[in-house]
Amino acid sequence: MFNDIINDMTAPITDSATSTRIAFTRKNPLSPKKLLLSKWTAVGPADKEKHFVVTRVVLPDLPAVRIEWVEIEAVHSRRSSMLRWRDLTDGSRWRQGWL
């Protein structure tokens, strides 16, 4: 039943009054466990560093604590830095994939 509801919400619908198709787009949620080796593009590149790869997901000492940090590496310079994984959801700074 739940899948039927989701399918109905994401399927394109037609507005009968104007015969215009309206498509719903759903943003896929990010999961910190699936970020390893994911590719990212910086919206405002600095020092020719535009493309990045998540090279490490920093696991907390206690298993009950949530994952907070990832390590990203610039493809061009191989410079790496630590970043809160939720910062990757900021569309004004990051885009998923290499664009």
Indicate the domain borders of the chain: 28-96
CB 71 within 8 A of CB 55: yes
Q: Does domain 28-96 have CATH number 2.40.10?
A: yes
Predicted local distance difference test score (pLDDT) of residue 52 = 97
Cα–Cα distance measured from residue 91 to residue 63, given in angstroms and rounded to the nearest whole number: 29
| pLDDT for position 18 | 54
Residue 73 is predicted with a pLDDT of: 98
Supply the pLDDT for residue 33.
84
Distance CA 41, CA 93 (A): 9
Tokens representing residue 82 in the block: 């630590």
pLDDT at 12: 53
- Tell me what pLDDT residue 5 has: 47
Instruction: Give the residue ranges of the chain where pLDDT is below 50.
Output: 1-10, 24-25
Predicted TM-score (pTM) of this structure:
0.69
